[in-house]
């Protein structure tokens, strides 16, 4: 494995924030406790991944998906997480849908703009042709005068 030991750890700042938000105000967390929780979180990820992978293999799939993770939570006796996770999944899917529609809309606008630019360009060319014709006519008139 090419990972260095620190890569398997989660950032201290984020872990600390999550802990502080979960505990009542003013409660201190010893450095040792914080470090222990961080390690526990990494172990949790490994355990959850392994569990979820079992479900994927049962389903003869090579890619872990959302339902594998949810099944893993139940298996690990973390049923309490299932509902908030399902809500998070819904929110994530809505957001992805929104992003997709936004980028499709942008693409449509871009295409529309390109089309109208082409129309403007051909109109300009027509104008230029007309100007030239006018000039030529003027020149002819001048010549005649001369």
Partner 1 sequence: MADVAVGKDKCGEQRLVSLPLSRIRVIMKSSPEVSSINQEALVLTAKATELFVQYLATCSYRHGNGKAKKALTYSDLASTAEDSETLQFLADILPKKILASKYLKMLKEKREEEEEENDDESDIGEVLA
Which residues contact partner 1 (rule: CB under 8 A)?
Answer: 1, 3, 7-11, 14-15, 17-19, 21-24, 26-30, 32-33, 36-37, 39-50, 52-53, 57, 62-66, 68-70, 73, 76-78, 80-81, 84-85, 88-89, 91-93, 95
> C-beta of 101: minimal distance to partner 1 in Å?
16
> C-beta of 109: minimal distance to partner 1 in Å?
20
Q: CA 119, CA 21: separation in Å to the nearest integer?
A: 58
Q: Which of 95/136 has CB closer to partner 1?
A: 95
Q: CA 113, CA 106: separation in Å to the nearest integer?
A: 10
Q: What per-residue string of b and e applies to 57-87 under the rule 16 or more CB within 10 Å gives b?
A: eeeeeeebeeebbbbbbeeeeeeebeeeeee
Q: Which of 91/102 has CB closer to partner 1?
A: 91
Q: Which of 3/143 has CB closer to partner 1?
A: 3
> C-beta of 46: minimal distance to partner 1 in Å?
6
> C-beta of 8: minimal distance to partner 1 in Å?
5
> 69 near 48, Cβ under 8 Å?
yes
Closest CA to 41 of 10, 11, 13, 64: 10
> 55 near 72, Cβ under 8 Å?
yes
Q: Which of 84/146 has CB closer to partner 1?
A: 84
């Amino acid at each position: 494995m090419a990972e260095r030991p620190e890569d398997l750890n989660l950032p201290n700042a984020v872990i600390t924030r999550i802990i502080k938000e979960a505990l009542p105000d003013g409660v201190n967390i010893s450095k040792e406790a914080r470090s222990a929780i961080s390690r526990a979180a990494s172990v949790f990820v490994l355990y959850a991944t392994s569990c979820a992978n079992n479900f994927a293999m049962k389903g003869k799939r090579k890619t872990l998906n959302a339902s594998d993770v949810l099944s893993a939570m139940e298996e690990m006796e973390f049923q309490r997480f299932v509902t908030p996770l399902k809500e998070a999944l819904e929110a994530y899917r809505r957001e992805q849908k929104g992003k997709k529609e936004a980028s499709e809309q942008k693409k449509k606008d871009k295409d529309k703009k390109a089309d109208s630019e082409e129309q403007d360009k051909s109109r300009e060319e027509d104008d230029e042709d007309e100007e030239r014709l006018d000039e030529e006519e003027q020149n002819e008139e001048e010549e005649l005068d001369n």
